[in-house]
Amino acid sequence: MSINSIFDLYKTMERNHAMLSFKGLVTADLLDSVLRITESKLDHIEKSTKRRKKVYNILVECLQNLYHHNESVIKHGDNSKEIMSNSSILCISNPEDYYEIKTGNYISKEKAEDLELKIKNINKLDKEELRELYKSVLSKGQFSSKGTAGLGLIDIARKSGNKLEYSFMPIDKNYSFFCLNVKIK
Amino acid sequence: MENINLDGTPKTPSVTFNFENGTLEIRGRSIPENSVEFYKPLNDWIEQYGESPQPATVFDVKLEYFNTSSSKCLLDLFKLLENINKKDTDVKVNWYFEKDDGDIEEAGEDYQAIIPLPFTMIEVEEI
């Protein structure tokens, strides 16, 4: 990376109205710091308590998804296994009159298929139908081994009031990179 | 039996479960990564309380934020209370929400629809 590209990086972040960007492993400590920083920034820039709470709530779910579902990408060599990366990316921005939370993380192709079906189903539903789905998963669902309730994405869609924008970028035969963009008006 | 008195943290609510008064309160935010671990002692307490409860039990829920895994844990607490309701105690739930906080208000209504406990929705200026 050349020294002048620091300024390019700055301009890119400025253009995207970045509030906070992070790339790396999402640990419990990191999660705490991001929440603390974002909360204090929101206190300064957002007058509506309602919207402040919405952004914060959605951020909690996005971060906890990264924390619980982050996968290490393992490269299978001829006679060795090597961990390529277990990093995620998170960008919180405030362009014009809305907020955006973007996340990206590696996911196995097998899990990606299930996740895509789940998101497609969520995106078909209107506000009331999302509420019914939430109630049904809440009352019938069980905790996974990671202690997650399967409600995160439903809650994100419900609170944001927008469709989930997503894509799965193919990395190799085993992994994809899952990109999610949540808009909060 | 011992009462529960926990101070709130940035990620977990304050908890006051008082056996002598039959009053239970959780207040603040509940956004731990591992909600099950946090809520397990509260489940255990209610189970033990249910063996010889007070004639009236009041559960005050005053939450500002909670994550989806806490929402499942809360449902489990309500289910335990529902199990002991009308047997040896009358359980009432007071669900507090801040004015204009439609999300918390809706969440209360959702529990009300799932669990047959009597819920009272209480709007306040600030939790």
A72: left (phi over 0), alpha (psi -120 to 50) or beta: beta
In chain B the domains, ranked by start, together with CATH numbers, are 4-124 (3.30.750.24)
Closest by Cβ to A57, choosing from B34, B37, B65: B65
The secondary element (H helix, E strand) that includes residue B95 is strand B90-98
Average pLDDT over residues A31-46: 94
User: What residue segments make up the domains of chain A, in order of their start?
Assistant: 5-184
- The CA–CA distances, whole Å, from A7 to A13, A18, A22 equal 10, 15, 17
pLDDT tens track for A69-102 = 877 777 766 666 666 677 899 999 999 889 999 9
B100 has a chain A CB within 8 A of its CB:
yes
Contacts of B113 in chain A (CB under 8 A): 135
How many residues in chain A?
Answer: 185
Contacts of A53 in chain B (CB under 8 A): 64-65, 101, 103
**Does the beta-carbon distance from A67 to B71 stay under 8 Å?**
no
Q: Is A69 on the interface with B (CB under 8 A)?
A: no
Residue A25 — φ and ψ, nearest 5°? Answer: -85, 125
On average, the pLDDT of chain A sits at 90
- Residue of higher predicted confidence among B96 and A2: B96
What's the order of all strands across the beta sheet hosting B23-30? B4-6, B14-18, B23-30, B56-66, B90-98, B119-124
- What's the whole-number mean pLDDT along residues A118-134? 96
B-chain residues near A50 (CB < 8 A): 100-102
Mean pLDDT of B50-62: 96
Q: Which CATH number fits domain A5-184: 3.20.20.110, 3.30.420.40, 3.30.565.10, 3.40.50.150?
A: 3.30.565.10
Mean pLDDT across the stretch A138-158?
A: 83
Evaluate if residue A149 carries a pLDDT over 70.
Answer: no
Using the Cβ of A153 and the Cβ atoms of chain B, whether some distance falls under 8 Å is answered with no
pLDDT for residue B127: 84
Which residues on neighbouring strands pair with residue A103, listed in sequence order?
A90, A180
The separation between CA A73 and the C-alpha centre of its own chain, rounded to angstroms, equals: 18
Tell me, what's the pLDDT at A84? 65
Is the Cβ pair B103, A53 closer than 8 Å? Answer: yes
